[in-house]
Amino acid sequence: MLEIFITATDTDAGKTYVATSLVHAFVSKGKQVAVYKPISAGCQKINSVLVNEDAQLLEIAANCQQSICDINPIAFEAAIAPHIAAQQCQKIITIAEIQKYYQKVKALEADIVVTEGAGGWRLPLGDGLFLSDFVKQTKQKVILVVNMKLGCLNHAVLTYQSIISDGLECIGWVANCIEKMPYLEENISELESLLPMPKLASLSFEKDKQVTAKQFDLSTLL
Ligand SMILES: Nc1ncnc2c1ncn2[C@@H]1O[C@H](COP(=O)(O)OP(=O)(O)OP(=O)(O)O)[C@@H](O)[C@H]1O
Ligand SMILES: [Mg+2]
């Protein structure tokens, strides 16, 4: 089972967009793909269930008939830092809980599990814990989404260095080019020389994720 964790240089960088497009790409290759979004903050209450949009998009892309609650077990209504949202509801987020629900996803025995992080790599959970501690425990392979904009070189290199100093493998990165960035090609080239893992795709703005799905180089992943 290939276990992939999608992180990014920042929040809103394109993690869900890349995760769902990648899931489409794997499904189109005939793979069984399960998804996981352990923590979300920014949900709508529907029939007393907190529903997060990222989880809904992941559910649509994947093909393992998972419920929204199984995909996203820890959900907060307010769109704020999750550890603050947890404090506001007198809840403690533990790695054990994130692990417990992850094991349920793994029990589906899909070919691939794609997990979307929240925020960037060092997302605090409170009590000195980070979401990256869960990735460390589970030794997932990490894909880094870089939101190509001024300042992204620093964020990308720092994130990559944190991932490898956590003893994890970063199996690829994605240049997500949705903003007008001066010297975009030069910035992508610089990242290609700074980051040793393969660039899986250079994505421009595209609404149709099936089109985007075709742009990934999956040769090093499958
Ligand atoms: N290449 C792209 N083409 C078109 N739209 C995109 C692209 N990349 C991202 N977007 C859009 O930009 C917005 C932010 O992207 P996305 O939700 O994937 O970020 P995120 O990193 O998952 O954010 P969060 O930290 O909130 O989970 C979304 O509306 C998404 O559909
Ligand atoms: Mg997201």
Kindly give the distance from the C-alpha atom of residue 15 to the centroid of ligand 2, in angstroms, as a whole number: 5
- Predicted confidence at residue 12, as pLDDT, reads 97
- Predicted confidence at residue 153, as pLDDT, reads 98
Residues of the chain above pLDDT 70, percent: 100
At residue 197 the predicted structure's pLDDT band, cuts being 50, 70 and 90, is very high
Kindly give the distance from the C-alpha atom of residue 22 to the centroid of ligand 2, in angstroms, as a whole number: 14
pTM here is: 0.98
- Residue in 6, 9, 16, 210 to alter for ligand 1 test, most ligand atoms within 8 A of Cβ: 16
- Residue in 11, 17, 212 to alter for ligand 1 test, most ligand atoms within 8 A of Cβ: 17
Mean pLDDT calculated for residue range 178-197: 97
Paired with 41 in beta bridges are 76
**Mean pLDDT over each residue of the chain, to the nearest integer:** 97
- Predicted confidence at residue 200, as pLDDT, reads 98
- Which residues keep their CB under 5 angstroms from ion ligand 2? 15-16, 54
- Ligand 1 is surrounded, with C-beta below 6 A, by 8, 11-17, 54, 119, 176, 178, 203, 205-207
| Residue 29 exposed, middle or buried by CB count within 10 Å (0-12, 13-18, 19+) | middle
- Residue in 11, 21, 72, 178 to alter for ligand 1 test, most ligand atoms within 8 A of Cβ: 178
| CA geometry: angle 4, 117, 51, nearest 5 deg | 115
Which amino acids are annotated catalytic? 37
- Predicted confidence at residue 83, as pLDDT, reads 97
Q: Residue by residue, what is the 3-state secondary structure of the chain? A: CEEEEEEECCCCCCHHHHHHHHHHHHHHCCCCEEEECCEEECEEEECCEEEEHHHHHHHHHCCCCCCHHHHCCEEECCCCCHHHHHHHCCCCCCHHHHHHHHHHHHCCCCCEEEEECCCCCCCEEECCEEHHHHHHHHCCEEEEEEECCCCHHHHHHHHHHHHHHCCCCEEEEEEEECCCCCCHHHHHHHHHHHCCCCEEEEEECCCCHHHHHCCCCCCCCC
Amino acid letter for position 60: I
Nearest CA to ligand 1 atom 23: 12
- Predicted confidence at residue 165, as pLDDT, reads 98
Cα 126 versus chain centre, distance: 20
At residue 105 the predicted structure's pLDDT band, cuts being 50, 70 and 90, is very high
Q: Quick check: 52 and 130 in contact, CB under 8 A?
A: no
At residue 98 the predicted structure's pLDDT band, cuts being 50, 70 and 90, is very high
Mean pLDDT calculated for residue range 43-72: 97
Q: What is the pLDDT of residues 110-157, one digit of tens each?
A: 999 999 999 999 999 999 999 999 999 999 999 999 999 999 999 999
Amino acid letter for position 12: D
At residue 168 the predicted structure's pLDDT band, cuts being 50, 70 and 90, is very high
Kindly give the distance from the C-alpha atom of residue 77 to the centroid of ligand 2, in angstroms, as a whole number: 15
At residue 11 the predicted structure's pLDDT band, cuts being 50, 70 and 90, is very high
- Predicted confidence at residue 24, as pLDDT, reads 97
Virtual CA dihedral for 78, 79, 81, 82, nearest 10 degrees? Answer: 60
Nearest atom in ligand 1 to the alpha carbon of residue 204 is: 1
Kindly give the distance from the C-alpha atom of residue 132 to the centroid of ligand 2, in angstroms, as a whole number: 16
| CA geometry: angle 7, 36, 133, nearest 5 deg | 55
Mean pLDDT calculated for residue range 7-35: 98
Kindly give the distance from the C-alpha atom of residue 127 to the centroid of ligand 1, in angstroms, as a whole number: 29
Amino acid letter for position 201: A
- Predicted confidence at residue 50, as pLDDT, reads 95
Mean pLDDT calculated for residue range 169-179: 97
